Structures are given as structure tokens and as C-alpha cells.
């Protein structure tokens, strides 16, 4: 099977055109064809770097049909790169069907990493990064949005969303309603671009900031929600003391299990509390 081609998953910039690796440029130059979401959009990137490789379209509406054609070409020995309009393909972008089918057909899939808006926001937002949950876009329908947000009420990890400028204010208003006006948020806007902005604060103050100036709602957004704090009020102080002591010598899971058994408390609540304490210690 040595004459079978390879599929390269190539990350492209999310704003600043310099955010592309040498390896990505070389790969885009060397492959036989580049599958792109919007060929006109990607042509500008290729022209900027003087890359002549031919583009073909692969988007949400033609992916399954296109995947079959591309797999045939790969099996005939062509090398193919997949790019999206911005950032890492498959991260809220097309490509899953193609990659899944390539794996099924024993075709090598080679990642060529680079920019991704979620990770770019997370690494500079100032929220805990030891555990995070990526949720892509919230549903458009109000009831479904509220259901997703309700599911985050006890989530201890930082949650990362993508959001469109059309809905950002409504989303922050929904968060205020469902998770409370005090929940800490970060709005990461226009990352890597001229007007890159990070606004952090309680949900209520983020909403005020968005509403006070129409310009604040313009552009591309990553929205980060800080994890829920576990309330310590209803835990016996002796339990908290035991837990803190055990955590010095035992893995957190074990410390939480022993304390929970001893005081008849919920293991998961103690575990979350332990994680939170670890984060506070690192703050
Ligand atoms: N595949 C991309 C990635 O790796 O980040 C994401 C594609 S998704 C269809 C597009 C969304 O990503 C935008 O609506 C926005 O929420 C977010 N995004 C992309 N570029 C961004 C940027 N420069 N600043 C902030 N958010 C961005």
C-alpha cells in the first residue's frame, strides 16, 4: 500500500496571517490538491504565500459525496491537504466524515497543528486550564440553549464556547439568567487581530459592557465560563480539615472517598472541592 497518498489536516491562521507554521506552508505547497471550505476565501491565503496548489471545495453540504471522491484520489496515490476558513479543521468545521472514512480505509491522516480559537482564548484568559470543556456553539433555540446552560450549573471545569456577534449579548444574558449574574466570564474577541480584546468579569458586568457600545458586539468571539464553585457552607468544618490533611498524602480521589465515607457526604462534591482548592492554590 506504499503508493497510497496521505491526508494532511492543516491548521491555518484565525486572523493574523503570520500564524501559520513552516510545515503547514510546505505541506500546502507539496500536496496534489487542497480541500477547502470556501475556496475563494482560502485562495487569498494561498496567494499571500505564493502557493499555486489547486483548491477544491469541501463543506458541510457536500462532505459525504466529496469524501468518497477524495478517498479514491488518495487510494490512487495523491496527497491531499484539508483546510478550513480559519484555524484547525474539524474543530466546529467540516472534515470529520473524511477523516473517519480515511481511518476506516487505512489511509494515513497526518495532523499539521497550528491556530485554534478555543485554545488561543483559553491560554490567555486567566481561567483555570487544568480541565476544560469545549462546547462549540450553543443551540440557537432558546429552550435548547437554556438546557445546555443548566447542564453547566455544577460543572467545575472552565467551559469554552464559540459565539457569533449576532447572539453574543443574548447568550450572556441567558447565562446571567441560568447560571447567575455573578458567574465569572471571559469574552475573547478578535483574537490575533488588530482589535483583539479580552474582557473579564461577572456575567452582569460582561452584559453591561456588550450593551454599552455596539462596537463591543462586533467581531468574532470565544466565550469562556468559569467553573462552578462548590459551596463549602453545608460541609462540616471537620470534614474539610480531614480532606485537606488527606490530600497532602493521598491522591485527591482517595482523599475524597475516605472523607465522604467518614462523614456521609457526597464523594463527587468533595472531589470538586479538592480540585477547586488545587486551583486556588495555583492562583
Ligand atoms: N476551526 C476554527 C478553530 O480552530 O478555532 C473554528 C471555526 S468556527 C466555525 C468559527 C468560530 O470560531 C467563530 O464564530 C468564533 O466564535 C471563533 N473564532 C474564530 N476565529 C476567531 C478569532 N480570531 N477571535 C475570536 N474567535 C474566533
Give φ, ψ of 171 to 5 degrees: -65, -45
pLDDT score for 274: 82
94, exposed or middle or buried, with CB in 10 Å at 0-12, 13-18, 19+?
buried
Query: Residue 161: helix, strand or coil by DSSP?
Result: strand
Q: What is the mean pLDDT of residues 67-77?
A: 97
Atom of ligand 1 nearest to the CA of 189: 25
* Mutation choice for ligand 1 from 42, 113, 117, 192, CB with most ligand atoms inside 8 A: 117
Residue 92, all three cell numbers? 466546529
CB burial readout 122-155, b (16+ within 10 A) else e:
beebebbeeebeebeebeeeeeebeeebeebeeb
> In the structure, what pLDDT confidence band is assigned to residue 239 with cuts at 50, 70 and 90?
confident
pLDDT 10s digits, 88-129: 999 999 999 999 999 999 999 999 999 999 999 999 999 999
H or E stretch covering 174: helix 168-179
8 Å CB contact between 203 and 172: yes
What atom of ligand 1 comes closest to residue 121's alpha carbon? 25
Q: How far is the CA of 218 from the centre of ligand 1 (A)?
A: 14
Compute the distance from residue 238 Cα to the ligand 1 centre, in Å: 47
pTM above the 0.85 mark? yes
Task: List, in sequence order, every beta strand (DSSP E) within 31-183.
Answer: 33-36, 54-57, 80-82, 109-112, 132-137, 158-163
**Ligand 1, atom 16: closest residue by C-alpha:** 162
Amino acid at each position: 500500500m506504499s503508493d497510497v497518498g496521505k491526508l494532511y489536516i492543516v491548521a491555518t491562521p484565525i486572523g493574523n496571517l503570520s500564524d501559520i507554521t513552516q510545515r503547514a506552508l510546505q505541506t500546502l505547497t507539496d500536496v496534489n490538491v487542497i480541500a477547502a471550505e470556501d475556496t475563494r476565501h482560502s485562495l487569498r491565503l494561498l496567494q499571500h504565500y505564493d502557493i499555486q496548489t489547486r483548491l477544491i471545495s469541501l463543506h458541510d453540504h457536500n462532505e459525504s459525496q466529496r469524501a468518497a471522491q477524495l478517498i479514491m484520489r488518495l487510494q490512487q496515490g495523491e496527497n491531499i491537504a484539508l483546510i478550513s476558513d480559519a484555524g484547525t479543521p474539524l474543530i466546529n468545521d467540516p472534515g470529520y466524515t473524511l477523516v473517519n472514512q480515511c481511518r476506516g480505509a487505512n489511509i494515513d491522516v497526518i495532523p499539521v497543528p497550528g491556530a485554534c480559537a478555543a485554545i488561543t482564548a483559553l491560554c490567555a484568559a486567566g481561567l483555570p486550564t487544568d480541565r476544560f470543556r469545549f462546547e462549540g456553539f450553543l443551540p440557537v433555540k432558546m429552550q435548547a440553549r437554556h438546557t445546555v446552560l443548566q447542564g453547566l450549573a455544577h460543572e467545575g471545569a472552565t467551559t469554552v464556547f464559540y459565539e457569533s456577534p449576532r447572539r453574543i449579548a443574548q447568550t450572556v444574558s441567558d447565562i446571567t439568567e441560568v447560571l447567575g449574574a455573578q458567574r465569572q466570564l471571559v469574552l475573547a474577541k478578535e483574537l490575533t487581530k488588530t482589535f483583539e480584546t479580552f474582557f473579564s468579569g461577572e456575567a452582569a458586568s460582561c452584559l453591561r459592557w456588550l450593551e454599552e457600545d455596539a462596537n463591543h458586539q462586533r467581531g468574532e468571539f470565544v466565550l469562556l465560563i468559569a467553573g462552578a464553585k462548590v459551596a463549602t457552607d453545608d460541609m462540616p468544618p471537620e470534614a474539610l480539615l480531614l480532606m485537606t490533611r488527606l490530600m497532602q498524602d493521598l491522591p485527591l480521589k482517595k482523599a475524597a472517598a475516605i472523607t465522604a465515607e467518614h462523614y456521609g457526604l457526597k464523594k463527587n462534591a468533595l472531589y470538586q472541592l479538592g480540585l477547586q482548592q488545587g486551583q486556588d492554590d495555583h492562583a
